[in-house]
Amino acid sequence: MSDLNAESTAFRAALDAVRAVEPRIADAIAKELHDQRESLKLIASENYASPAVLLAMGNWLSDKYAEGTIGRRFYAGCQNVDTVESVAVEHAKALFGAEYAYVQPHSGIDANLVAYWAILADRVEVPYLKKFEKRQVNDLSDAEWAELRAAFGNQRMLGMSLDAGGHLTHGFRPNISGKMFDQRSYGVDAATGQIDYAALRETAKEFKPAVIVGGYSAYPRKVNFATMREIADEVGATFMVDMAHFAGLVAGKVFTGDFNPIAHAHIVTTTTHKSLRGPRGGAVFAGPELADQVDRGCPMVLGGPLAHVMAAKAIAFAEARRPEFADYAQRIVANSQALAEGLKQRGATLVSGGTDNHLVLIDVDKYGLTGRQAEQALLDSGIVTNRNAIPADPNGAWYTSGIRIGTPALTTRGLGVAEMDQIAELMHTVLGQTKAGASKAKFDLDPAVSDGVSKAANELLGGFPLYPSVDLGA
């Protein structure tokens, strides 16, 4: 059990120390807690980490350099970082049933870059550049590097399209993955809004990618990773899954069998702060064939590991191994489905007609709005969401036609299916009463409506205190 006084004392002492140097930073930290307590957070990629996770990050582990891997560092005196990283790895492997885990990535993009490098380095030595033995790939002359880059330039990636819910790091131009790889996308069936595996197979056969990427940041359905692995095997591709969004549902055994990426992919990446409810960071899981290359992530791709964040990852993985985390994961999905049902009953149109996971995508074009207008109208009414493209979006990636919502955070806070129906009512009230304005960003919403919804949202949250063990005082 958490000790209310101990946690409050710890956070108060930390803020006092910060305030003594720069009061504006202490105030911003304290205000962030206040603002999070007051807001109805439906951002699908956010959560509330436990006090133990948060406190594990605020200490002198931050002072240590430890480039390299466990027991093989480029700095002396890393025995405690070795312990921290080993314990994090031990929990991560047990949690996901993985053969190998790498817990150094600082973020999801870092985890994906480590994975991409591992895949390319592993593939390059065998089918293409036989003269480069695995151990030599990281120690080439300039001319050899030029040859290698040319080889990498020809590597192809097949990932989910952005408007179907894919992520920028899955081979899109604003991210370096879109420059490392020649990318082609798979999408969803226009009628069902769900992945069209037959079309994916056809594209893979024709395009012959080196890498097929599964995973998403805005797709509301389960993905059949067993089928995707079959397709990857048919075309000789490496199958990677980015499970950043749904790692908590894998850890909590909601996604099992064909839907468990660890069982089917060659390599799996994640962030640790979304549905997994840990600190802000990333991780990579792989079988033995890619583990050696992933271990080179630092210094190949990453700076020195953040030992304080690895400590917090260890705490989060340990928490997720407890039986109550499986219950939490089930409740995330039950809440998401209740929210989807509540919205549909009130006339909303949902991409794919519903959800199997933690997120719901509302087609706000059906309310005559852009995503940008809807996002701001909801925010003005105390409901925090984010706009997102929907399949074949007529408004593009900036204005969009969708609103993405998710339940990991509110489920942590304790809200259940009854509250989800109330939230559906509040959202439908805002979306139904907002009128599009003169531009794709402008809109009209009667302040009486936004104020009323904001008040109702606040009353709802009042029954579910956030961080109840933490009292920062007046």
The catalytic residues are: 65, 67, 242, 271, 274, 280
Identify residues 101-140 at the interface with ligand DSN (CB under 6 A): 108
How many binding residues for ligand DSN (CB under 6 A)?
4
Distance in angstroms (rounded) separating the CA atoms of residues 82 and 64: 11
Identify residues 371-410 at the interface with ligand DSN (CB under 6 A): none
Distance in angstroms (rounded) separating the CA atoms of residues 452 and 309: 40
Distance in angstroms (rounded) separating the CA atoms of residues 203 and 249: 29
Shortest spacing between CB 167 and ligand DSN, in angstroms: 6
Is the CB of 201 or the CB of 280 nearer to ligand DSN? 280
Structure tokens at 293: 């290359």
- The yes or no reply on residue 297 touching ligand DSN (CB under 6 A) is no
Identify residues 52-111 at the interface with ligand DSN (CB under 6 A): 108
Answer whether 41's CB lies under 8 Å from 384's CB. Answer: yes
* Nearest residue to 407 (alpha-carbon basis) of 320, 339, 325, 468: 339
Shortest spacing between CB 192 and ligand DSN, in angstroms: 23
Answer whether 187's CB lies under 8 Å from 389's CB. Answer: no
Is the CB of 106 or the CB of 201 nearer to ligand DSN? 106
156-160 and 211-215 beta bridge pairing: parallel
Shortest spacing between CB 261 and ligand DSN, in angstroms: 17
Shortest spacing between CB 107 and ligand DSN, in angstroms: 8
Q: Site mask, ligand DSN, residues 162-191, x = CB under 6 A?
A: -----x------------------------
- The yes or no reply on residue 45 touching ligand DSN (CB under 6 A) is yes
Shortest spacing between CB 43 and ligand DSN, in angstroms: 7
Identify residues 148-167 at the interface with ligand DSN (CB under 6 A): 167
Is the CB of 47 or the CB of 260 nearer to ligand DSN? 47
Backbone angles phi, psi at 66, to 5 degrees: -150, 40
Is the CB of 239 or the CB of 246 nearer to ligand DSN? 246
Identify residues 199-218 at the interface with ligand DSN (CB under 6 A): 217
Is the CB of 41 or the CB of 167 nearer to ligand DSN? 167
Is the CB of 229 or the CB of 358 nearer to ligand DSN? 358
Which residues are bridge partners to 406 per DSSP? 359
Shortest spacing between CB 359 and ligand DSN, in angstroms: 9
Is the CB of 217 or the CB of 373 nearer to ligand DSN? 217
Dihedral angle computed from the Cα positions of residues 287, 290, 295 and 296, in that order, rounded to the nearest 10 degrees: -170
Residue nearest to ligand DSN (CB): 45
Shortest spacing between CB 128 and ligand DSN, in angstroms: 31
Backbone angles phi, psi at 202, to 5 degrees: -60, -45
Distance in angstroms (rounded) separating the CA atoms of residues 395 and 163: 11
Shortest spacing between CB 108 and ligand DSN, in angstroms: 6
Answer whether 101's CB lies under 8 Å from 284's CB. Answer: yes
Shortest spacing between CB 441 and ligand DSN, in angstroms: 20
Q: Interface with ligand DSN by CB under 6 A: which residues? A: 45, 108, 167, 217
